[in-house]
Amino acid sequence: MRVVHVLVAIITVTATLIGVQAYLSRLTPAEAKAVQAARQGPPTYVLPPGKVGRAVALAGTRRSLTVAAEAILPVELLLLLISGAAGWMRDAACRMSSRRWIQGYGFLFLLLLALQLLSLPLQIWGHRVGLAYGLSVQGWGSWVIDKAKLFALVWGLGGLLVMLLFWVIRKSPGKWWVWFWMAAVGVTIAGVFASPYVFDPLFNQFEPLAKSDPALVKQLERVVARGGLSIPAERMFLMKASAKSTELNAYVTGFGASKRVVVWDTTIAKSSPDEIAFIFAHEMGHYALGHVLLGTVLTCAVMLPLFSIANDCMGWILARWGARWRISGQQDWAALVVLLFVLAAISALSDPLSNGVSRAVEHAADVYGQEAMHGIIADPQTIGVRTFQVLGEESLNDPTPHPAFDWWFGTHPPLWFRSSFAAAYDPWRAGEHPKYFVK
Instruction: Name every residue whose Cβ is closer than 8 Å to that of residue 370 and which is 6 or more positions away in sequence.
Output: 278, 281, 380, 381, 384, 422, 425
Q: Are 13 and 346 in contact (CB under 8 A)?
A: no
Predicted local distance difference test score (pLDDT) of residue 439: 62
Contacts from 188-193 at CB under 8 Å and sequence distance 24+?
188/296, 188/299, 188/300, 188/303, 189/296, 189/300, 192/253, 192/254, 192/255, 192/292, 192/296, 193/254, 193/255, 193/256, 193/257, 193/258
In order, the DSSP letters of 214-231 are: HHHHHHHHHHHHHTT---
> How many CA atoms does the CB half-sphere of 54 hold within 13 Å?
16
Kindly list the domain boundaries of the chain, sorted by start residue. Answer: 46-203+310-356
Q: Where are the alpha helices (DSSP H) in 272-379?
A: 273-288, 291-321, 335-349, 351-372
Predicted local distance difference test score (pLDDT) of residue 81: 97
Q: Are 44 and 420 in contact (CB under 8 A)?
A: yes
Q: Are strands 236-239 and 260-264 parallel, antiparallel or unpaired?
A: parallel
Distance CA 150, CA 200 (A): 11
Which residue, among 412, 402, 346, 304, has the nearest Cα to 70 in the 3D structure? Answer: 346
Which residue, among 349, 339, 307, 347, has the nearest Cα to 81 in the 3D structure? Answer: 339
Distance CA 286, CA 292 (A): 7
Instruction: Name every residue whose Cβ is closer than 8 Å to that of residue 87 and which is 6 or more positions away in sequence.
Output: 325, 326, 327, 334
Q: Are 38 and 420 in contact (CB under 8 A)?
A: yes
pTM of the model: 0.93
Distance CA 63, CA 59 (A): 6
Predicted local distance difference test score (pLDDT) of residue 231: 83
Residue 51 has a CB neighbour count (10 Å cut-off) of 15
Distance CA 157, CA 140 (A): 26
Give burial (CB, 10 Å; 0-12/13-18/19+) of 346.
middle
Amino acid at 136: S
Distance CA 189, CA 335 (A): 26
Amino acid at 247: E
pLDDT tens, the chain, 439 aa long: 467 778 888 888 899 999 999 999 999 999 999 999 999 999 999 999 889 999 999 999 999 999 999 999 999 999 999 999 999 999 999 999 999 999 999 999 999 999 999 999 999 999 999 999 999 999 999 999 999 999 999 999 999 999 999 999 999 998 999 999 999 999 999 999 999 999 999 999 999 999 988 988 988 888 888 888 888 888 899 999 999 999 999 888 888 888 888 999 999 999 998 999 999 999 999 988 999 899 999 999 999 999 999 999 999 999 999 999 999 999 999 999 999 999 999 999 999 999 999 999 999 999 999 999 988 888 999 999 999 999 999 999 999 999 999 999 999 999 999 999 999 999 988 778 999 987 6
